[in-house]
Structure 1
Amino acid sequence: MAVPKVDGQFIAEAIKYIDENGVPWHNTSTKYELVWENGNTYPPKYVIAVANHLQNGAEIDVSGYNAVEAKNYLTANGYEIQIKQTKYEITITSDSVTSTDDAFTMDNISAGDVFKPLDASFVAVDGTVIKRNYWKGERRNTNQTLPRIAFQIYEKQIAALPVEEKEQFPICQYSPDKEMIRGIYYSKDEATAHNINPFNTMSYDYDDGRQFVIYSWNIFTTLRFVQECLKRFGNPGDSFKLIYREKDDKENAEEEAAVVEKVKPAEFNGYLNPYSNMLVESKNIIFRGAPGTGKTYLAKEIAADIISNGYFDDYTMLTDEQKQQVEFVQFHPSYDYSDFVEGLRPKTNEDGSMGFELQDGVFKKFVDKARINYENSKKSTEVIANELSVQEAMKEFFDDVDTGNNKFKTKTGTEFTITDVDDEHIYLSIPQNASINSIRLNISEIRQMLESGREFNKLKDITEFFNINFTQQRYSYNLVIFNEIQKKKKAAKIIRQEELKKYVFIIDEINRGEISKIFGELFFAVDPGYRGVAGEVSTQYANLHADSNEKFYIPDNVYIIGTMNDIDRSVDSFDFAMRRRFRFVELRADERLEMLANLNNEEKEAEAIARMSALNVEIAATEGLNENYQIGASYFLKLKNIDFDQLWSDYLHPLLQEYINGMYDEEGIMERFKKAYNQGKSDGADVDESN
């Protein structure tokens, strides 16, 4: 059975029906929400089922189609659908396990298969919060993070337990009628000997190479273990917290990655990526470091993280609407102010002649979107409703003009027609005017008049509104069009207040452009201390704007990420005025190793790390080079499609050769590089010695 076809009026009737009767608990939505014009949200499948019942007399039944089909059907018919991004929090104490998700129960631990962990922590009775000391290569917030924190907190107490107690330690019970899974073991082999599937285990390294191994499948399967740790080793009032959400379809197919060596613990304040907190705090960040450290990939992860409010950090999971909150540019030596901020661009006129018009650059367009959202988020619903009413009235007016309803008259009897309309201007023809038979009006002025809620009956009203001392010729025509559009205004609808969103602008290779030429006067506005109206500036082409007094500012909801390679010659000449406006964060070559989990091959991942580490030691030891020339992990992601020999011959060898051109004994240096690279090979790996 496909999604039943229903008319729009019955969708509206279904909303009324649901408002009066509610939604049965088993028909609530877990993934998508239909956003109605009153701001309330409704489960799409159930709305369609009720509409089908009202229109066709069918039973209210949602079993014949899935949530995606319902979402696609409603979206195709012009309805707004949003992803339901509900976060839940589990609190574990020595005597209870409770969740903000009403459906959660310890009697069905298998339900954890469909959830993804977002954050985990230990909260001491005095309020101290302890996070996971992540290891290098360890993915943040996996199904294993919570038990790893428990091992981290109680490592010594657990190690001191007798072997018999470790083997009887409660780990997981799927339901009251199922047997308790028990045992803390010293290796996967030992766990296997006690009938634990090695693929369903987690390992925790401690004390110079020793391990704890326990059963672990989904995010709920270690709740018993964590609670038992609190009972045996905790103080009264201690607890663990686990924040989680429902998995996306794509995530359901993914597997969790393994771990490698230890790294300094990172602070976490609500986002999945610790660098996201840095960006939110600092507004502007530049990631610098060796090539291949994944700086650009990291920038996109951070963008997804803060735009989804810590819901996910996979850029591909952003909706098309959310992707409008991210912009990506790459600087190069010929990039300039007109590309970035604004400039004159060629335009073909109606008569076929060529001319120029002022166009916004990529940064100014992006900031304008963020600014509109920022300003709208501060407005009341009544103000937004009025603006929406104005927008609809203007659209209706200009649609009528397109159909030929196109002749108007001023108060003095001068007739004129509208010949063209674009995003910024209305073009008039005035045959009766001997001196000026055409004129251009600013749409923004008419919109401001309409949104003000004031009455405009004479030209003096307009001059007072715009606070000028003289009447301009165009105001006679503004007054006519204002009154025409005013007639079409309808009663404002009840709408939601706009949510404040975050916008992330990524500048790849930021040091390769001539910064002062690209940013111009925006040096001031981009400063984190001068965000908002306090940092507004006049741009270089302000005299060509519809309003020459218009100012430009960067709102607080804009975040800028730059990337640069330390070995690029242009780093040394990077503008000092810009340096102090960005927070510089170095990414070393051995950081971001968790990227290699994307190889989906633990043996290849381990070998890649070994080869990279050995090669980087040799690079750093070479006279004339340093750590800035080391190779980052992103080069090794190419191993998805090629082997280690091809990676060396086609990518690493040419890059390293470029590094040492002109040095003494180039051939000997390359031999040492290759020898180091091959030191990390796995047993039995073929090595091509010809390159």
Structure 2
Amino acid sequence: MPALRRINTDTLQQLKNLLVSSSIPVQSIQVAHKNYSIRNGAEAANKPLVFSWTHGGQTEPLLFSFHTWGTVESKKFPNTFLALGTGNEFRMVGFPLYLLPQDKDFVYLSFKLGNNEGGKNRWFGRGRTPKELRTAAQTDQLNIDIRQALQRVFPAPLFKHPTLSGEWLTLARLPVADLNSQADLPSRVALKTLILEKLLHAFVIAEKLRDDSLKIAGMNPDLDTTEAEDDLPVSISMHQPLNQILYGPPGTGKTYHTALRAIGLLERLTDAQVMVRYSTREEIRLRYDMYQQAGRIQFITFHQAFSYEDFIEGIKPVLLDTGVGNEEVGQELSYTIADGIFKVMAQRSVYALHLQQQQRLAASIGPDQVIAPDFDTVFERFIDQLRERLAEQDQILFYTKHNSKLHVDSISESGTIYFRYANGNSVNLPQVTRNGLRKINNDNPVDEAGQLAEADLEVKYGRDRSVYWAAFREFVQFRAQIPTDEPVQVAPQNLDEALQRVIRDPKIAAEITQEFDYRNLTSADFNAAPRMVLIIDEINRGNVASIFGELITLLEDGKRAGRPERLTARLPYSKTDFTVPPNLFLLGTMNTADRSVEALDTALRRRFSFTEMQPEPAVIRAQVGSSGVIGEGAAAIDVARILEVLNSRLEQLLDHDHCLGHALLLLSSPDVDSLRTAFERNIVPLLQEYFFGDWGKIGLVLGEKFVTAVPRTGVGRDPLAKFAGYDSSGLHDRPLYRLTAPATWDVVAFQSLYPATA
């Protein structure tokens, strides 16, 4: 992970100097979204920060300018608040350069995406006159459209870092070396052009969507409605199978392709559309890693030892810490019911549906309505202020009903509060968990701590019930301090932040899953809810009937939660009801050359959609040498043609499932040495596996330059030993074959693999 930090003062000044300098021109810029476009102004050379903006049937000047905003933070960095506006409105959007992150090599031209209008480093979306007021639902839809459109054009997320909360989108990486005034002029011109082009591109997209939202709402009926077709619609309605398997021979890119397919499932795109949105493999990997860090993608591999207990739930041994505070004095072995990865992902999927439902409810609340904060919102604030006090070495005391003092000792990452008694030295610290406090909150809907009674608390909390009582009283008192007129957000502002909460404390999602009522969801909720993807590599290598158990039936589309024919299963260990949510996708890979394919459960086959991954010589032609050819003239070797010929021979000798994938011949460098290494390490060992050591058939695939017959007499054909009673006649004449030395695999040898062209 890059060592991200806030842009330092010197680099910030260099960035500003680059943008304001009239001696550094700007190259030609033209960006557009549908029928909105921006290009350089008529005096581009003299006024590099002035542009011409065409929108809604009119054209007007658009200019960048620097300001000091009214906030305390902005005043620390004067004239580094970059505004973009027209002559009539100098600031339509603002970009605080002093908030940009950087590492030692790059400044990241980026901003934090938000779910509401305005916000820190928020670049778009706010209404600018009283006539432009939107309803909550219209604002919510606008934010969704802007987010999706920007993520399509600027797919690279910012690296996750503890100092950066929320979801950041990177428009461009700016080399620190090129910001220096000593850098050559062409580099500085290109960098300045890049910065302005990316900002303008983001602006024109957001402004078009913003104006469209006003038009749809009937607020501005005079807006131009003529639009050009967009190559990739922001919202795509398509049916994608919930359970998919990518299958094919080794080396066809099945595992490689799962990243692209998983992104498509999450963003509701086809494979081709994902490749349009993310044009390079690096961009795809960055996007994949972002989703994986957010908990929306999980990757596992099935194997012979993988079991139901690993996949769904089972009894697992755990070591319990018996230390005091941060001092470890011992551990003891215990057993607990642990959730498997499939159950965890199902619970996250339900939590995502819960978030979507909250988002819809929040949009339905009028501006004059006051709503109470939910438990999780208050609990997060409660824990945050306790952590701040602990960081300041503040002594935090809670009091039980009988006035016994409890010191807050520490707080875990998941929000569990550990206490110690003022006069005690027990190694087992009393603790209060989020889940336990939530249950007490649900059972005790009170407004004042005076209405609480220890007898009202459930006995299952055992000897810690007085501790829970003390913690709940403090919680209620803290909640009472929140102003009743303070705007409260029903749904978490950022999906990734909300999912990180359940990753830290899975019990949150588990509890919501048990209490969740799918009947409260609308069809729009199902369609808009965030999706989850569980990737199962080598799905055929595990005992799938045993791993899935009784849940195989629940995987079907029609048997998922929320469907008319939904089914529920009772889990054997936790004794809880379980159903598979409709926004959880399973994406498996299967090697057709693996003998375990035949054992793949028929019931599972019926519930998955299969996509064949075939060898693609075109990939070799695109990535190896010159159109798949390495070398020149008489020394040229057509690597793509080698793949085609070898696979043709394999299909004749075996079948279509036992071919060679193109990835096996993606060479590290376009030369004979790399090709020889690929054959020695990839091709030949795989052929040995295919033919079980039958070198005669391997010779039919590779030819005499690679496999040679051992003469019937001479070296390598020693006579058999004498053994009475066994007829060895004819055995000495059985043909023997040997692999030729890899050092002899030269240009001529590889050219012999495919017929010469006339």
Q: Structure 1 length as normaliser, TM-score?
A: 0.55
- 1:283 and 1:657, CA in 2 relative to 1: closer, same or farther beyond 3 A? same
Written as runs of structure 1 = structure 2, the 5 A alignment for 1:342-361 is 342=313, 343-349=315-321, 350=323, 351-356=329-334, 358=336, 359-361=338-340
Quick one: which of 368, 382, 400 aligns to 1:410?
A: 400
The answer (yes or no) to whether the contact 2:406–2:419 under 8 Å persists in 1 is yes
Distance (Å, rounded) in 2 between the aligned partners of 1:674 and 1:366: 46
- Structure 1 regions of 5+ residues with no counterpart? 48-67, 86-110, 117-238, 247-268, 272-276, 544-548, 679-683
The answer (yes or no) to whether the contact 1:511–1:564 under 8 Å persists in 2 is yes
Shift of 1:320: 4.8
1:570 pairs with 2:593? no
Q: Deviations over 1:577-606 (max 9, x none)?
A: 33333222333335x844752336314399
Shift of 1:474: 5.0
State the match for 1:454 in structure 2: 445
Shift of 1:527: 3.6
Shift of 1:470: 9.2
Distance (Å, rounded) in 2 between the aligned partners of 1:578 and 1:46: 47
- 1:35 and 1:241, CA in 2 relative to 1: closer, same or farther beyond 3 A? closer
Distance (Å, rounded) in 2 between the aligned partners of 1:660 and 1:395: 63
- 1:28 and 1:431, CA in 2 relative to 1: closer, same or farther beyond 3 A? closer
- 1:641 and 1:559, CA in 2 relative to 1: closer, same or farther beyond 3 A? farther
- 1:8 and 1:306, CA in 2 relative to 1: closer, same or farther beyond 3 A? farther
Give the match's secondary structure for 1:560: strand
State the match for 2:534 in structure 1: 505
The answer (yes or no) to whether the contact 2:94–2:123 under 8 Å persists in 1 is no
Distance (Å, rounded) in 1 between the aligned partners of 2:680 and 2:409: 64
1:33 pairs with 2:111? yes
Matched residue type, 2:386: F
Q: Deviations over 1:291-325 (max 9, x none)?
A: 22211111111122333454535432317533332
Shift of 1:610: 1.9
Distance (Å, rounded) in 2 between the aligned partners of 1:676 and 1:305: 46
Q: Deviations over 1:517-549 (max 9, x none)?
A: 433454354443333475555544427xxxxx5
Q: Deviations over 1:543-593 (max 9, x none)?
A: 7xxxxx5x5544332211101112212222223333333222333335x84
Matched residue type, 2:609: R
Shift of 1:453: 9.7
1:377 pairs with 2:356? yes
Shift of 1:471: 9.2
The answer (yes or no) to whether the contact 1:420–1:427 under 8 Å persists in 2 is yes
State the match for 1:336 in structure 2: 307
1:620 pairs with 2:651? yes
Quick one: which of 224, 231, 236 aligns to 1:243?
A: 231
Shift of 1:412: 4.7
Matched residue type, 2:286: M
Distance (Å, rounded) in 1 between the aligned partners of 2:418 and 2:382: 19
The answer (yes or no) to whether the contact 1:430–1:437 under 8 Å persists in 2 is no
The answer (yes or no) to whether the contact 2:244–2:611 under 8 Å persists in 1 is yes
Matched residue type, 1:301: L
State the match for 2:607 in structure 1: 581
State the match for 1:303 in structure 2: 262
Quick one: which of 542, 545, 552 aligns to 2:574?
A: 542
The answer (yes or no) to whether the contact 2:248–2:590 under 8 Å persists in 1 is yes
State the match for 2:663 in structure 1: 634
Written as runs of structure 1 = structure 2, the 5 A alignment for 1:180-259 is 241-243=229-231
Seq. identity, %: 19
Matched residue type, 1:577: A
Matched residue type, 2:72: F
Q: Deviations over 1:618-665 (max 9, x none)?
A: 11111xx211111122212235466434333332122112211265xx
Written as runs of structure 1 = structure 2, the 5 A alignment for 1:267-286 is 270=236, 281-286=240-245
1:2 pairs with 2:80? no
Distance (Å, rounded) in 2 between the aligned partners of 1:611 and 1:417: 73
- 1:318 and 1:525, CA in 2 relative to 1: closer, same or farther beyond 3 A? same
Distance (Å, rounded) in 2 between the aligned partners of 1:594 and 1:290: 16
Give the match's secondary structure for 2:533: strand
Quick one: which of 676, 697, 701 aligns to 1:673?
A: 701
1:23 pairs with 2:91? yes
State the match for 2:434 in structure 1: 443
- Superposed CA RMSD: 5.3
Quick one: which of 619, 623, 645 aligns to 1:598?
A: 623
- 1:599 and 1:427, CA in 2 relative to 1: closer, same or farther beyond 3 A? same
Distance (Å, rounded) in 2 between the aligned partners of 1:45 and 1:282: 36
- 1:437 and 1:321, CA in 2 relative to 1: closer, same or farther beyond 3 A? closer
Distance (Å, rounded) in 2 between the aligned partners of 1:32 and 1:563: 36
Aligned pairs, number = 472
Shift of 1:677: 11
1:82 pairs with 2:191? no
1:528 pairs with 2:557? yes
1:480 pairs with 2:449? no
Distance (Å, rounded) in 2 between the aligned partners of 1:474 and 1:659: 63
State the match for 1:55 in structure 2: none
Give the match's secondary structure for 1:602: coil
Q: Deviations over 1:31-51 (max 9, x none)?
A: 84334685436767999xxxx
Q: Deviations over 1:396-428 (max 9, x none)?
A: 236546856455443355665556654375556
Matched residue type, 2:11: A
Q: Structure 2 length as normaliser, TM-score?
A: 0.51
The answer (yes or no) to whether the contact 1:501–1:557 under 8 Å persists in 2 is yes
Quick one: which of 261, 270, 290 aligns to 1:321?
A: 290
Matched residue type, 2:587: I
Give the match's secondary structure for 2:667: helix
- 1:552 and 1:31, CA in 2 relative to 1: closer, same or farther beyond 3 A? farther
The answer (yes or no) to whether the contact 2:536–2:587 under 8 Å persists in 1 is yes
Give the match's secondary structure for 1:285: strand
Shift of 1:73: 13
Distance (Å, rounded) in 1 between the aligned partners of 2:666 and 2:621: 6
State the match for 2:587 in structure 1: 561
Distance (Å, rounded) in 1 between the aligned partners of 2:463 and 2:535: 44
Give the match's secondary structure for 2:298: strand
Matched residue type, 1:331: F
Give the match's secondary structure for 2:305: coil
Q: Deviations over 1:271-300 (max 9, x none)?
A: 9xxxxx6xx522111122222221111111
The answer (yes or no) to whether the contact 2:263–2:288 under 8 Å persists in 1 is no
- 1:571 and 1:37, CA in 2 relative to 1: closer, same or farther beyond 3 A? closer
Distance (Å, rounded) in 2 between the aligned partners of 1:293 and 1:419: 55
Distance (Å, rounded) in 2 between the aligned partners of 1:281 and 1:321: 22
> Which is worse superposed, 3-12 or 604-613?
3-12
Distance (Å, rounded) in 2 between the aligned partners of 1:594 and 1:73: 30
The answer (yes or no) to whether the contact 2:166–2:494 under 8 Å persists in 1 is no
Distance (Å, rounded) in 2 between the aligned partners of 1:39 and 1:75: 24
The answer (yes or no) to whether the contact 1:638–1:647 under 8 Å persists in 2 is yes
